[in-house]
Amino acid sequence: MKEFKDYKPEINKCSKCGLCESVCPLFKINPNDCVASKGKFLMLGGVINGDLKFSQTINKYLDMCLKCGKCKSFCPGGIDICEILAAAKYEYMKNRLSGKIINFLQSRPVFNRIIKTGEVLSGLFRPKKGCADTSSPVVVYFKGCVNKVFPKTDKALARLLKHHPVKIIEPDFECCGLPFMTEGNLERFMQVCKHNTEELRKYKYDYLITDCASCADTIASYPKYMENAGFLLKNGINWGDFIADENMKFKFKKHLKVTFHKPCHLENDEFFEKIMNNCENIEYVKMEDYDACCGFAGSFALKNAGISAGLISQKAENIEKTGADYVITTCPACIIGLKLGLAGKKTKVISLLEFLAMADKII
């Protein structure tokens, strides 16, 4: 596991050119250098070079980041701010009482028991597994914590895959680790990284599928932390890609207008328009800034309530302008953020799988 001090070359690589500020969603609504990577690297450079000490103020700015990765893709040096922020957060939290409390709550016995309890209770409402034959594709499904606790996605999948049988394997995965990474709990992150990779090695499969953009993005980061985990990147897709590739068709009796919110962690959204073209009676209207962050980003919303609310209401405004009946997305966390913004409004928030499962006919 790399420690904060190991990132000195990357931190000092930042030229302070400020290009990251032009794409950082937080800087757009709060033009303070410290909210974008440039200012964060100024502070972290001070700490790593011995001119500054970690403080509550620096911690405040470590938490003021959506982990959307937009700055990395725009940075001439390709510096990975999210990875460095996690290492800095670990360094800041490791000897603090608040860090010890968070580590306890996120520890394997406590965290997994909470998820397991939800999983067992919701099992009563889950459909039976569909049938597949030997010619069916084999899918390892990384369900993610939210879908383990809530049965809606399983119900939608059961309907969608009725005429497109796949053999679904659900290994004993733990959380993808994003909440641990965000809190700087790198030891716990490494624990799930190792566990999930070992689970995956037990199976032969055609696809590794998830329908949570954040889980997919986190799993894709494992090879940065573990040697020999590169195989994870080879056939990882999401259900949207699978449905588009299978050329599934959907007939809706009622005409509906929809729009799409692209989660920050969704790398490729080409599947969405392909699927919409296969939906009869569905009108897709692209919203302004459809790929702008919804503002929720897990614990970010709790720690930065004002900024989060600003981003969420901007998103809601863009959604409302489309006049859509539904805003569709592919990330359970974004669904929460969008629901907060659209409370009491006409447009309903729905996951892609649940929306498609509403079709009157699926071919």
**Using CA atoms, how far apart are residues 253 and 276, in angstroms rounded to an integer?**
15
Smallest CA-to-CA distance from 61 within 303, 314, 356 is with: 303
Site for ligand SF4 in 10-39 (CB under 6 A): 14-20, 23-26, 36-38
Considering the complex, state which of residue 12 and residue 277 has its C-beta at the smaller distance from ligand SF4. Answer: 12
Q: Is position 45 an interface residue for ligand SF4 (rule: CB under 6 A)?
A: no
Candidate list 8, 49, 77, 317; residue touching ligand SF4; CB under 6 A: 77
User: Cα 38–42–44 angle (5° rounding)?
Assistant: 115
Other CB atoms within 10 Å distance of the CB of residue 141: 22
- Could you give the CA distance from residue 136 to residue 98 in angstroms, rounded to a whole number? 49
Residue 160 makes contact with ligand SF4 by CB under 6 A: no
69 makes contact with ligand SF4 (CB under 6 A): yes
Residue 215 CB, nearest approach to ligand SF4 (Å) = 18
- The residue (of 22 and 117) whose beta carbon lies closer to ligand SF4 is 22
Rank residues 140 and 266 by Cβ distance to ligand SF4 and give the closer one. 266
Beta strands (DSSP E) in 261-343 are: 279-284, 326-329
Q: Least distance from C-beta 36 to ligand SF4, angstroms? A: 5
Does 99 interact with ligand SF4 (rule: CB under 6 A)?
no
67 near ligand SF4, judged by CB under 6 A:
yes
Q: Does 44 help bind ligand SF4 (rule: CB under 6 A)? A: no
The reply on whether position 88 binds ligand SF4 by CB under 6 A is no
Tell me, what amino acid is at 171?
Answer: P
Residues that bind ligand SF4 (CB under 6 A): 14-20, 23-26, 36-38, 41, 65-71, 75-77, 79, 81-82
